[in-house]
Amino acid sequence: MSNGKPGSDIDIKRFNQVFFEECAEHLVEMERILISLSDREPDQEQMNAIFRAAHSIKGGAGIFGFDDMTVVTHVMESLLDRLRKHEIGFTASMVDVLLEAGDVIAMQLAGHREGSVVRQEAIDAVRDKLQRLVDNGPAAPPVAVVEPPDSSPCSGALIRSLGDDTATHRFELSFTPDDNIFRRGIRVESIIAELSELAQPGGFASRAELVEVPTLAEFDPENCLTRWHFTLTTPASADQVMEVFMFVADEEQLNLRELPSERLPAAAPANLPGATAAAEPSTAPGAAPPVPEPRLEGRRAYDRDETSPGAFGRRQGEAESSIRVNVTKVDQLINQVGELLITQAMLAQVASELDPVRYETLHKGLLQLARNSRDLQGSVMSIRLVPISIVFSRFPRMVRELAGRLGKSVELKTVGETTELDKGLIEKVADPLSHLVRNALDHGLETSEVRLANGKEPTGTIQLKASQVAGRIVIEVSDDGAGLNRDKILAKASEAGIPCSESMSDEEVWQLIFAAGFSTADQVTDLSGRGVGMDVVLKNVQAMGGRVQIASQAGKGACVTISLPLTLAILNGLSVAVGAEKFIIPLSAIIESLQPKPDQLKSVNGKQVVAVRGEYLPILRLHELFNIETEVTDPRQGILVLVDLGGEKTALLVDALLDEQQVVVKSIETNYRRVAGSAGATILGDGRVALILDVAELFEMAKKAQPEPGPAKEAA
C-alpha cells in the first residue's frame, strides 16, 4: 500500500520483533503447561491454552510471511483441536512429541531471528510424528449420557446439543478496525479469504461501509475508514469464526451474533424422556420468528477470563497497561538518570559552600531535587528489573529430560520465582545455574535403588530458591543427594596437581571443585567429566560482581549459594577518604563503622586486629593496598569500616567518612584499565573519579599480601 509519496510503502518487517518476542512467550507458556502435566491428561483450560498458543504462532507466522513455521504448527493445531474436542484420547507420549514440536518451532524462530541453522529433517520428522497422532490417535473414551427425568429442564438442552453435531450455523459479524490497521501490516483481503474458507459454497457475503469521510486536507490513504459486515453459513462454531481475528482485532471491535438456522431441526431420539417438549418450537402463521440470544458485543467465546490472550497475544486492557520497550532504550534512560544524579551531586556540592540562611530557598529546592532524583532512579531501575522466573522456567524441561537419560526419579521445586533481578544479570545467570542443575543431577542425586537402600525416598529433589537479602539477590541450588565426598575431592585434586592438604577445612575443600579442569566423574559422558563446568560457574558469577559458596553434608545433600548485586547500574554507597583519594564502599557490604578504643586493638601472630563483641577482625589498610600516602596509619586516628562478605568479616581502615550517596557505576576497564580491588568507578559531585571497592577482591588481595597465620597468639 502506498500514499503516492516516495518511501511510504509499509514495511511489515518492522513488526517482526514483536512477533519474535510473542512467539517466544507462547512457546515458553506451552512448554510450561506440558511439563506440568507429567503423565496426566490436561484439563479443558490447559488444553485451550496450549491450542491458543499454537494457533497464535501459526496465525502470526502467516501474517508476517514466515510460512515455513506454519507447517508444524498447522499439524500441531489439528492434533490439539481433536484432543480438545475429545475426538481422540490423550496419551503421555503426546507430551514428548508436542515438546519436540516446540523445539522445532523455536529452531525455526531462531533461524528467522538470528540466522541460525534450521534442520529440515527435524521439521519433517516432527511433522510426521504429529500427523500420525492426528490420523491414528487412540479413540476417545465414550461419554456416558445420563438421562434426566422427564421433568428435568436439562433434557431439552441435551437433545439440542446432540443435534448440534451436524448443525449449520448462520452468523452475522460486524468488524470495525482501528484506523492504523494497515500500518500494522494487516490485509483485510486475507481476513475475507479465511472467513470464506469457513463458509459453505455460496454461503458467504461481505459488504463495506464508510464510517466517516474526512476532508481532502485531512485525508490519509494509510488510515482505514471502513467498517465491514460479513454473513456466512458455516458448520464452524462461533469460536472458530472469532479465532480468525485473534491477531487482528480487540473485543470491542467485533460483534458476532447467530441468525436463525434455515435447516430443519434434527429429530430427537424417541427413547429420550422429554424429547417432545425439547423439540424446536414451531412458529405460528403470522407470528414473529424467535429472536436468538445475541452474543455479548465483541466477546470472544474462547476467552474464559480477563487474562486470556487477545489481539497480538493480549487483550485490549492489558495492551493499554503494558508496552514493549527495547532494552537498549531502557539502558539509555538509566544512563541519563545516572547523569542526572551526578549533576544533582555537583549542585549539592556547590550549595554546601553557600550560606544556608541567605540561600534557604536554594537549599530547599536542592533537597527536593535530591528526593525527586532518588524516586526517579528507583522507578527507572524497576523498569529493568524482571522476575527470575524467566530463568527458572527453563529448568523443568531440562530436569525432566536429563533425569530420563540418567534413569533417575527427580522432582524440581522452585521458591521465590517472583524475586526481581536486573535484566542484564538475568541473561548472564542462566548459564551458571544450568551447570549447577546438571551437576546436581549427574553427581549429587542417586538412583532410586541407591536411595531406597540408604533409607531415602526414591525420588530425589532439586530446589531452586531465590530471595533478596540486603540489596543483593541470593540464589540457592540444593539437592538431597549424597553430598560432596571430601576424600574423593582431595584425591582428584592431588591427581590434577591442584594444591591441597588434609588440614584444609571443609569449606576450603569444597572450593577445590571450582578449579579449572577439576572433575570427580569416573568417566566422560555428554553430561560431565571434562572439568569445564564449575570453573565456568565461578568465573561467570565473579564477572557479575557476585560470589559463590558451597555447603554440604555427607548423605544429606549439597547447596550452592550464588550472591549477586541487585543491579549493576546504580548502587547505594558510602564515600570515604584515604589520603587525597576518595573511595565508594557498597552499603550492602557494610556492618558498621567505629573509631576503636586502645583496648580494642590486639595483635595476633604479629598482625593487628580489632576486637568487636567477642570477634577478632583483621584490619585491611586501604592506603597499603592501593599504595596511597596518608598521615592516618594508626586505627586510633582513623575510622574502621566493618564489612561482611558471606560470613567473613574484616575492618577497612580509612581516614574519614564523607557521605552516603547513590552512585552511577561506570566501567573503569572500558575507559581506562583494570584496577585490582575495584568493581568500577563513579563521578563525584566535585567532578572527581572515585573507585567503587570490590570487597571480595580486597579480601583476596589481603590474603595474598599476608602469610597464612599459624596458631593464634594474643597479646595486648
CATH of the domain at 107: 1.20.120.160
Polymer length in residues for the chain: 716
Report the number of distinct structural domains present in the chain.
Answer: 5
- For residue 278, tell me if it sits in a domain: no
CA distance 149 to 147: 7
- 130 and 198 housed in the same domain: no
- 382 and 406 housed in the same domain: no
- 129 and 48 housed in the same domain: yes
- pLDDT of 202: 75
- 164 and 95 housed in the same domain: no
CA distances from 89 to 127, 133, 611, 667 (A): 19, 10, 72, 58
- For residue 112, tell me if it sits in a domain: yes
- 536 and 578 housed in the same domain: no
The 10 Å CB-count burial string (b at 16+, else e) for 47-66 is bbbbbbbbbbbbbbbbbbeb
CA distance 119 to 108: 9
Maximum mean pLDDT: which of 369-378, 561-570, 662-671: 369-378
AA identity, residue 471: G
706-589-339-368 Cα dihedral, nearest 10 degrees: -140
DSSP-derived letter for residue 9 is S
- Judged against a pLDDT cut of 50, whether residue 650 lies above it is answered with yes
CA distance 277 to 149: 13
Nearest to 192 by CA among 228, 161, 219: 228
pLDDT interval class at 711 (50, 70, 90): very low
Q: What is the mean pLDDT of residues 243-264?
A: 73
pTM here is 0.54
Do residues 528 and 438 make contact, with C-beta atoms less than 8 angstroms apart?
Answer: yes
- Among 511, 537, 565, where does a domain finish? 565
Rg value, the chain, Cα = 34
- Judged against a pLDDT cut of 80, whether residue 27 lies above it is answered with yes
Do residues 243 and 258 make contact, with C-beta atoms less than 8 angstroms apart?
Answer: no
Q: Cell 527427580: give the residue.
A: 410
Q: Return the HEC string of 663-696.
A: EECECHHHHCCCCCCEEEEEECCCCCEEEEECHH
Nearest to 90 by CA among 99, 80, 100: 80
Maximum mean pLDDT: which of 182-196, 283-297, 401-415, 498-512: 401-415
- Among 215, 243, 263, where does a domain finish? 263
- For residue 448, tell me if it sits in a domain: yes
- pLDDT of 281: 42
- 559 and 482 housed in the same domain: yes
- For residue 148, tell me if it sits in a domain: no
Residue 686 C-alpha cell reads as: 566535585
CA distance 484 to 509: 10
- 400 and 536 housed in the same domain: yes
CA distance 528 to 514: 14
- pLDDT of 291: 44
CA distances from 548 to 106, 648, 696 (A): 32, 13, 11
Q: Cell 569449606: give the residue.
A: 507
pLDDT, averaged across the chain: 75
**Would you tell me how many other CB atoms lie within 10 Å of the CB of residue 147?**
13
- 544 and 465 housed in the same domain: yes
Do residues 254 and 245 make contact, with C-beta atoms less than 8 angstroms apart?
Answer: yes
Do residues 458 and 452 make contact, with C-beta atoms less than 8 angstroms apart?
Answer: yes
- pLDDT of 60: 78
Strands 254-259 and 204-210, bridge-based pairing: unpaired
- 578 and 550 housed in the same domain: no
Between 269 and 552, the higher pLDDT residue: 552
CA distances from 501 to 493, 554, 562 (A): 10, 20, 26
- Among 340, 364, 386, where does a domain finish? 386
CATH code of the domain in which 166 resides = 3.30.70.1110
Q: Which long-range contacts (CB under 8 A, 24 or more apart) does 516-519 make?
A: 518/492, 518/493, 519/492
CA distance 357 to 355: 6
Nearest to 98 by CA among 24, 47, 136, 43: 47
CA distance 472 to 561: 12
Strands 557-565 and 615-621, bridge-based pairing: unpaired
* Phi, psi of 687, deg, nearest 5: 90, -5
CA distances from 149 to 146, 155, 210, 270, 273 (A): 9, 8, 54, 14, 7
Q: What is the DSSP string of 157-171?
A: HHHHHHHGGG--EEE
- pLDDT of 583: 92
- pLDDT of 576: 92
pLDDT in tens, 91-133: 878 888 888 888 888 888 888 888 888 888 888 888 888 888 8
- For residue 276, tell me if it sits in a domain: no
pLDDT interval class at 553 (50, 70, 90): confident
- pLDDT of 699: 78
Cβ neighbors of 146 (< 8 A, separation 6 or more) are none
Q: Exposed, middle or buried by CB within 10 Å (0-12, 13-18, 19+), for 566?
A: buried
Q: Exposed, middle or buried by CB within 10 Å (0-12, 13-18, 19+), for 628?
A: middle
- Judged against a pLDDT cut of 50, whether residue 158 lies above it is answered with no
Containing domain of residue 392, as a range?
Answer: 388-565
Q: What is the mean pLDDT of residues 385-403?
A: 84
Q: What is the mean pLDDT of residues 487-515?
A: 80
Q: Cell 547505594: give the residue.
A: 572
**Would you tell me how many other CB atoms lie within 10 Å of the CB of residue 218?**
8
pLDDT interval class at 34 (50, 70, 90): confident
- For residue 147, tell me if it sits in a domain: no
pLDDT interval class at 298 (50, 70, 90): very low
pLDDT in tens, 45-102: 888 888 888 888 887 787 777 888 888 888 888 888 888 777 888 887 888 888 888 8
Do residues 451 and 596 make contact, with C-beta atoms less than 8 angstroms apart?
Answer: no
Strand partners for 234: 169
CA distance 479 to 567: 28
- 544 and 637 housed in the same domain: no
- Judged against a pLDDT cut of 80, whether residue 692 lies above it is answered with yes
- For residue 473, tell me if it sits in a domain: yes
Q: Which long-range contacts (CB under 8 A, 24 or more apart) does 678-682 make?
A: 679/545, 679/586, 682/342, 682/573, 682/584
- pLDDT of 640: 92
Do residues 121 and 115 make contact, with C-beta atoms less than 8 angstroms apart?
Answer: no
Strand partners for 170: 233, 259
Residue 473 C-alpha cell reads as: 539477590
CATH code of the domain in which 587 resides = 2.40.50.180
- Judged against a pLDDT cut of 70, whether residue 433 lies above it is answered with yes
Nearest to 582 by CA among 687, 697, 669: 687
- 517 and 607 housed in the same domain: no
What stretches of 316-422 show up as alpha helix (H) in DSSP?
316-321, 327-351, 360-384, 389-392, 395-406
CA distance 575 to 660: 6
- For residue 66, tell me if it sits in a domain: yes
Cα 43 vs. chain centroid, distance in angstroms? 25
**Would you tell me how many other CB atoms lie within 10 Å of the CB of residue 457?**
12
pLDDT in tens, 506-530: 887 887 887 766 666 555 455 554 3
- Judged against a pLDDT cut of 80, whether residue 187 lies above it is answered with no
- 218 and 131 housed in the same domain: no
pLDDT interval class at 322 (50, 70, 90): low
Nearest to 538 by CA among 521, 560, 557: 560
pLDDT interval class at 471 (50, 70, 90): low
CATH code of the domain in which 502 resides = 3.30.565.10
Strand partners for 683: 689
SS3 315: coil
Q: What is the mean pLDDT of residues 16-39?
A: 80
Q: What is the DSSP string of 566-602?
A: S-SSEEEEEEEEETTEEEEEEGGGEEEEE---GGGEE
CATH code of the domain in which 341 resides = 1.10.287
- pLDDT of 385: 80
The 10 Å CB-count burial string (b at 16+, else e) for 120-131 is eeebeebbebbe
